[in-house]
């Protein structure tokens, strides 16, 4: 009860802030958001440097801009891009957990879900009311996968991640990652442009698997 009261009080305070108060709040959150430039994902880049969460989100956003003209259904483009930009924002406080862990370990999945829910609540109260509430709702829209914008964003999340794995080279993969590309069609929503990009990525994986050197015959 006290926690709820505290959140309500913070919300009220945020509603009557001066411009400089708002600016200070935004500046503090900018400093927190730098963490996404430092938070590393499982994949590496083609030059060997580990990929950051910010790296992933930036290129996913770029891909979002590029594919919009080819999507068959009308998208709310601004909301779509905002969903992409905020979809991993919780990792400022919750950190990144590789899918190879969260998808195979029920305990890890529960820990991830709990820490991310706590993180989005923290983000909500650490920002001015309208901004915090908007980001909160966008993040939950992505998590619930309930709109066409969020479904396409999920597809781009998978596509960008696979593209990065391909660029890093198969020698950087763990065994579970050999199969990820073949799951891409589950996310492409019958959108031709997404199906074609996914097909190209799958062919790249096929070629890499074919080129894995087999032990010399004895």
Whether 52 is covered by a domain: the verdict is yes
Mean local confidence (pLDDT), 151-161: 99
- Average pLDDT of the chain is 91
Q: What is the mean pLDDT of residues 149-153?
A: 99
Residue 128 within any structural domain of the chain: yes
Residue 123 lies in a domain: yes
Among 133, 125, 57, smallest CA distance to 89 is for 57
Number of domain units in the chain: 1
pLDDT classification of 8: cutoffs 50, 70, 90: very low
Of residues 183 and 98, the one with the higher pLDDT is 183
pLDDT band at 9 (very low <50, low <70, confident <90, very high): very low
Dist. CA 119–CA 113, nearest whole Å: 10
Whether 217 maps to a domain, the answer reads: no
Q: Is the pLDDT of residue 53 over 80?
A: yes
Q: What is the pLDDT, as a whole number, of residue 6? A: 52
Q: Is 73:50 a contact under the CB 8 Å cutoff?
A: no
Residue 202 lies in a domain: yes
pLDDT for 44: 96
> Where does the pLDDT of residue 97 fall: very low under 50, low under 70, confident under 90, or very high at 90 and above?
confident
Q: Is the pLDDT of residue 4 over 70?
A: no
* CA quadruple 23, 126, 35, 63: dihedral, nearest 10: -80
Q: Round to whole Å and give the CA distance between 144 and 126.
A: 23
- Number of Cβ within 10 Å of residue 211's Cβ equals 8
Helix, strand, coil percentages (3-state) for the chain, rounded to 5, are 75, 5, 25
Instruction: Look at residue 16 in the predicted model and tell me its pLDDT.
Output: 75
At residue 101 the predicted structure's pLDDT band, cuts being 50, 70 and 90, is confident
3-state secondary structure of 47: coil
The pLDDT value recorded for residue 1 is: 45
Answer whether residue 215 is part of any domain: no
In a domain, 118, yes or no: yes
CATH number of residue 18's parent domain: 1.10.3210.10
pLDDT at position 105 is 75
46 pLDDT above the threshold of 50: yes
The pLDDT assigned to 99 comes to 78
Which domain does 97 fall in, by range? Answer: 2-210
């Amino acid at each position: 009860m006290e926690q709820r009261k505290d959140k309500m009080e913070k919300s009220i305070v945020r509603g009557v802030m001066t411009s400089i108060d708002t600016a200070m709040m935004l500046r503090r959150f900018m400093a927190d958001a730098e963490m996404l430039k430092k938070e590393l994902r499982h994949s590496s880049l083609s030059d060997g440097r580990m990929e950051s969460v910010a790296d992933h989100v930036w290129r996913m956003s770029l891909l979002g801009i590029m594919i919009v003209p080819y999507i068959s259904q009308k998208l709310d483009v601004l909301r779509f891009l905002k969903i992409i930009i905020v979809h991993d924002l919780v990792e400022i406080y919750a950190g990144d957990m590789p899918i190879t862990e969260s998808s195979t370990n029920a305990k890890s999945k529960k820990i991830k879900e709990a820490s991310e829910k706590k993180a989005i609540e923290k983000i909500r109260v650490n920002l001015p009311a309208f901004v915090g509430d908007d980001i909160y709702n966008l993040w939950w829209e992505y998590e619930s996968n309930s709109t066409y914008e969020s479904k396409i964003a999920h597809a781009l999340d998978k596509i960008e991640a696979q593209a990065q794995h391909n660029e890093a080279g198969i020698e950087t993969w763990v065994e579970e990652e050999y199969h990820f590309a073949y799951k891409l069609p589950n996310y492409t929503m019958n959108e031709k442009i997404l199906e074609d990009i996914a097909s190209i990525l799958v062919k790249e994986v096929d070629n890499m698997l074919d080129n894995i050197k087999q032990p010399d015959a004895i």
